[in-house]
Amino acid sequence: MPPRSRSSIPAALVACLFALCLAACSTTGPARDATPHAVVVLSVDGLPASTVGDGSMPTLDRLARDGVHAQWLTPSFPTLTFPNHYTLATGLRPDHHGIVGNYLRDAAYGDYHSKTNGTEGRWYGGEPIWATLQRQGGRSAVLAWVGGQDPADPRVPARMLPFDGDRGMEAHVDQVLAWLDLPAGERPQLVMDYLQFYDVAAHAHGATSGEAMRARRDIDAGLARLLAGIRARGLESSVDVIVLSDHGMQDVPPAHVDWLDPRVPRDAYDVVGTMVIGIFPKPGREAEVAGLVGRHAHHACHARGAMPPHWQFGTHPRVPPILCVPDPGWYLFAQEPRRRHARVRGEHGFDNLDPAMRAMFVARGPSFRQGVTLPPFDNVDIYPLLAHLLGITPAPNDGRIDALLPALRESAAR
């Protein structure tokens, strides 16, 4: 058999390789094409909107200057941690998702306490964004977020770590980066991380105390560590970072104490909650307890179904028959306390339109424009924003993305 030509097969191979090379060279960049887009959401519990730009968190300020920030994010009522974090996750107001307080009572399930059985999925209605994403084939990871910590809940994130008060800021950041380090086929497209540090310090010592300011600095250092980690991994063009809060914080002096009307017998009703107090009349004593309803010295009590309209609250069966809310800057107790706080403490739970309750929103990444300041918007709008960034169809929710479209690049505002 004569020897095979030296040119026929290599020529075909060269042509093939040339075509492959041409296709490879025509791509817009390996980092953007090879790395899936991801969204990282950090929630700083209790951080007021006024923090942005005040100099106490320089990394946050730089993030706002380089990206997008809102004048403020309006929290849902009640301005408490558990209701608002689950609203951020679902786009549903508390009156619709069922977490109507940090403490609540349910006819079928009994009493809910955020710090005891608050991780049980049975209490949580609606569909959180991590479940929406996973239902449509995506991947999510959640660290300590309200409503996403029950392994028995079918909506639980694929990767989940429960709340741990001993987990420090560096450990939070390291975990987020570890999730971003996963191979492309395993890397979550959504990471949500809850940070309690400022809220804890402000409650104990005051919203602008040395301890609270130290917590801000620690969080800001952690944010810088996260951004540096994203940059070092070459992920700046594929990761959107959103930093927000659930509500604001207000100092309350020790002398600002009010309590429920003592003319209504205390044995006539049960109390559920603190600061925002739910009243449940005992059987046969409804008429007596109705005497609590109305305006008082430094608080007001409202009957279910007759709440202030801007609260958009009062139809869910878990809403107490009567709800009593303190005026901004005041404590409210069921009865005159035997002991009072010895110092100023930070609090929330006040009317959601009170300026001190305004939450913050900052975002930067490939989906966001630079140097944009948004007018105030409601926190129910976060869910449809996340669904939009992730390219998924949102579940039914109370939010609208319209107010956020000016913040998005043209390619992301599709």
Query: What is the CATH number for 300?
Result: 3.30.1360.180
- Domain boundary pick from 340, 368, 387: 340
Q: Looking at the structure, do residues 264 and 235 belong to the same domain, yes or no?
A: no
pLDDT of residue 414: 55
| 8-state DSSP, 368 | B
Q: Looking at the structure, do residues 91 and 145 belong to the same domain, yes or no?
A: yes
Q: Looking at the structure, do residues 39 and 74 belong to the same domain, yes or no?
A: yes
Question: Helix, strand or coil for residue 257?
Answer: strand
Using an 8 Å Cβ cutoff, are 42 and 241 in contact?
yes
- Identify whether 113 is part of a domain: yes
pLDDT of residue 340: 82
Does residue 81 have a pLDDT over 80? Answer: yes
Integer Cα distance of 74 and 379 in angstroms = 6
pLDDT of residue 382: 98
Please write the tens of the pLDDT for every residue from 212-248: 999 999 999 999 999 999 999 999 999 999 999 999 9
Does residue 372 have a pLDDT over 90? Answer: yes
pLDDT of residue 23: 38
Tokens 């509500």, residue located: 247
Q: Can you give the CATH number for the domain in which 146 is found?
A: 3.40.720.10
Which pTM value belongs to this model? 0.91
- Mean predicted confidence (pLDDT) in 84-102: 98
pLDDT higher for 344 or 17?
344
Please write the tens of the pLDDT for every residue from 321-351: 999 999 999 999 999 988 888 899 999 999 9
For residue 337, count other CB atoms closer than 10 A to its CB.
Answer: 11
Using an 8 Å Cβ cutoff, are 119 and 83 in contact?
no
pLDDT of residue 36: 84
Q: Looking at the structure, do residues 187 and 95 belong to the same domain, yes or no?
A: yes
Does residue 20 have a pLDDT over 60? Answer: no
Integer Cα distance of 97 and 121 in angstroms = 12
